[in-house]
C-alpha cells in the first residue's frame, strides 16, 4: 500500500506554453495585465491558495513594473519569437520582486512614473495630479488595451511639453527657440527628456547576438535614471549626443565611474500613490532620485555592442528628438537598453 501511495502521489512538473497566436503582449503594457487572459487556461489545475501572478524567463523572475517591450529588448539579445515565458500563480519570489497586488499596483506604478516625468519636463506635475477620475481611468484603460487614439486624446490634456522635431526645425536657423517659449499652439517646449537607461555589461566578446551571454541575475543590470537636457544652442542633437550625457564614461579616454543616478525603481514604487499629492512630495522624490548615486567602475575600453529602443536598433546619428517623439512609452519616459562589452577583470 505504501508503494501504491507513492505511485498515486507521484507528480511530474510540467511547463505549459500557450500557442503564440493566442497571446500577444503589448510592448507598452505590463505582464501582470495578462492575468485575466491566462488564468482561465490554468485555474482548474491550480492548488488552493491566493493567486499572485508572476513570470520568469529562463529562471529569472521578471520585474512587473518594467514595460513588457523593455524586458524583451533587455533579456532577448537575439529576439525569440514567440517569447517563451513561464507563468506562476504561487510561490511569489518576494526577495527578488517587490509585491504586486494585481492591476491596481501596476496602475499606480504607471501613474507615479507619469508624475515623475511631468515634474522632470515641466517643473511640476499639477496637470497629472489634477486629472479627473474619468480621464485618469480612460488614460489607464488606453494603456491597458493598447488604444493609441484614446491615449493621445486624453494625454493631450496633460499639456506635457515636447521637444521640437530636429528634422524640421532644430537643424535649421529658425530652430533657435529658447526654453520657456511657446509654439503656435501655446505649448511650452521642454529642454529636459525623462530617460530610463538599462545597461547590461558582458565581459566575453561576441560577434553574433545569439552568442551573447544570457542575463541570469538582475544584479548584472545597471539602472540609470537621468534626464537629458537639450540646450537651445544644440543643433542636430543626436542619439549619440544624448548617450554621451547619459553614459559619458563610454565616450571618454579616462577611467570613470558609471553613476546609477536615481534610487532603484523598487524604492520609487514604495511611495504610495495617495502620498504623492503635491509638487513638494514629487520634487523631494525626484531630487532624492538624482542625488542618490551608486558607482561601479567601468574601463575606458568599454565598448557599446548594442542599443535597442522599442525593438529598434537605431543609428547613433539619428536626431534624438525623433527618437523621443516617436519611441517614448506612455509614461513619457524614453526607455533605452544598452549592452556594453567590458574588459575581463584580472584574477591576480
For residue range 239-268, what is the model confidence (pLDDT) as tens digits?
Answer: 999 999 998 887 764 333 333 334 445 555
Average pLDDT over residues 101-122: 94
Distance CA(143)–CA(29), nearest Å, equals 7
Q: Which tens digits make up the pLDDT trace of 57-103?
A: 999 999 999 999 999 999 988 888 888 888 888 889 999 999 999 99
Helix (H/G/I), strand (E/B), else coil: 157: helix
Average pLDDT over residues 269-292: 54
- Give the pLDDT score at 66: 96
Query: Which segments of the chain are extended strands (E)?
Result: 54-57, 60-61, 86-88, 192-193, 195-202, 221-225, 228-229, 256-259, 295-298, 303-308, 334-341
Average pLDDT over residues 284-312: 64
User: By the 8 A CB rule, do 198 and 221 touch?
Assistant: yes
Model pTM? 0.79
Confidence band (pLDDT; 50, 70, 90) for 291?
A: very low
Q: Choose the weakest-confidence range: 19-33, 83-97, 138-152, 310-324.
A: 19-33
Does 170 have pLDDT greater than 70? Answer: no
Does 308 have pLDDT greater than 80? Answer: yes
Domain parsing of the chain, residue ranges: 1-88, 103-163, 192-257+294-341
Q: Which of 283, 335, 275 is nearest to 125 (CA)?
A: 283
Rounded alpha-carbon distances, angstroms, from residue 309 to 28, 74, 180, 209, 274: 12, 10, 29, 16, 32
Confidence band (pLDDT; 50, 70, 90) for 25?
A: confident
Cβ neighbours around 108 below 10 Å, total: 19
Average pLDDT over residues 90-119: 94
- Give the pLDDT score at 318: 92
Q: Per DSSP, what are the bridge partners of residue 54?
A: 88
- Give the pLDDT score at 188: 38
Among 3-7, 50-54, 208-212, 238-242, which range has the highest average pLDDT?
Answer: 238-242
CATH code of the domain made up of 103-163: 1.10.246.190
User: By the 8 A CB rule, do 285 and 271 touch?
Assistant: yes
Cβ neighbours around 287 below 10 Å, total: 11
Greatest alpha-carbon span in the chain: 89
- Give the pLDDT score at 50: 74
Distance CA(200)–CA(223), nearest Å, equals 9
* Chain-centroid distance, C-alpha 172: 32
Q: What angle do CA 272, 29, 117 make, to 5 degrees?
A: 50
CATH code of the domain made up of 1-88: 3.10.20.620
Does 45 have pLDDT greater than 80? Answer: no
For helices 279-291 and 103-122, give the axis angle rounded to 10 degrees: 80
Q: Which tens digits make up the pLDDT trace of 323-342?
A: 998 899 999 999 999 998 88
Confidence band (pLDDT; 50, 70, 90) for 296?
A: very low
Q: How many CA atoms lie less than 13 Å away from 122 in the CB half-sphere?
A: 21
User: By the 8 A CB rule, do 160 and 121 touch?
Assistant: yes
User: By the 8 A CB rule, do 337 and 307 touch?
Assistant: yes
Q: Per DSSP, what are the bridge partners of residue 257?
A: 297
Confidence band (pLDDT; 50, 70, 90) for 295?
A: very low
- Do the two domains 1-88 and 192-257+294-341 of this chain adopt the same fold? yes
What is the distance between the terminal CA atoms of the chain, rounded to a whole angstrom? 61
321-348 burial, b if ≥16 CB within 10 A, otherwise e?
A: bbbbbeebbbbbbbbbbbbbbbeeeeee
Q: Which CATH architecture has domain 192-257+294-341?
A: Roll (3.10)
User: What is the overall mean pLDDT for the chain?
Assistant: 77
Amino acid at each position: 500500500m505504501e508503494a501504491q501511495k507513492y505511485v498515486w502521489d507521484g507528480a511530474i512538473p510540467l511547463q505549459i506554453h500557450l500557442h503564440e497566436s493566442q497571446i500577444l503582449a503589448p510592448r507598452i503594457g505590463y505582464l501582470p495585465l495578462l492575468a485575466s487572459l491566462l488564468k482561465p487556461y490554468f485555474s482548474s489545475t491550480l492548488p488552493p491558495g491566493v493567486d499572485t501572478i508572476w513570470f520568469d524567463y529562463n529562471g529569472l523572475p521578471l520585474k512587473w513594473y518594467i514595460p513588457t517591450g523593455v524586458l524583451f529588448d533587455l533579456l532577448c539579445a537575439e529576439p525569440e519569437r514567440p517569447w517563451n515565458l513561464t507563468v506562476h500563480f504561487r510561490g511569489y519570489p518576494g526577495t527578488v520582486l517587490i509585491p504586486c497586488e494585481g492591476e491596481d499596483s501596476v496602475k499606480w506604478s504607471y501613474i507615479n512614473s507619469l508624475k515623475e516625468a511631468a515634474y522632470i519636463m515641466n517643473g511640476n506635475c499639477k496637470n497629472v495630479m489634477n486629472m479627473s477620475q474619468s480621464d485618469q481611468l480612460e488614460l489607464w484603460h488606453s494603456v491597458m488595451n493598447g488604444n493609441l487614439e484614446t491615449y493621445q486624446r486624453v494625454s493631450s490634456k496633460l499639456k506635457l511639453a515636447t521637444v521640437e522635431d530636429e528634422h524640421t526645425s532644430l537643424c535649421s536657423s529658425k530652430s533657435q527657440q529658447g526654453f520657456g517659449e511657446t509654439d503656435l499652439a501655446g505649448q511650452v517646449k521642454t529642454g529636459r527628456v525623462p530617460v530610463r537607461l538599462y545597461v547590461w555589461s558582458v565581459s566575453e566578446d561576441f560577434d553574433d547576438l545569439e552568442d551573447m551571454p544570457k542575463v541570469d541575475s538582475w544584479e548584472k543590470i545597471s539602472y540609470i535614471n537621468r534626464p537629458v537636457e537639450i540646450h537651445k544652442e544644440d543643433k542636430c542633437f543626436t542619439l549619440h549626443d544624448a548617450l554621451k550625457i547619459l553614459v559619458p564614461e563610454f565616450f571618454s579616454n579616462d577611467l570613470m565611474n558609471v553613476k546609477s543616478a536615481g534610487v532603484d525603481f523598487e524604492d520609487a514604487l514604495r511611495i504610495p500613490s495617495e502620498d504623492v499629492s503635491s509638487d513638494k512630495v514629487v520634487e523631494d522624490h525626484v531630487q532624492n532620485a538624482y542625488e542618490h548615486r551608486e558607482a561601479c567602475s567601468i574601463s575606458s575600453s568599454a565598448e557599446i555592442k548594442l542599443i535597442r529602443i522599442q525593438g529598434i536598433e537605431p543609428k547613433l546619428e539619428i536626431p534624438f528628438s525623433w527618437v523621443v517623439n516617436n519611441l517614448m512609452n506612455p509614461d513619457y519616459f524614453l526607455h533605452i537598453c544598452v549592452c556594453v562589452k567590458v574588459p575581463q577583470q584580472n584574477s591576480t
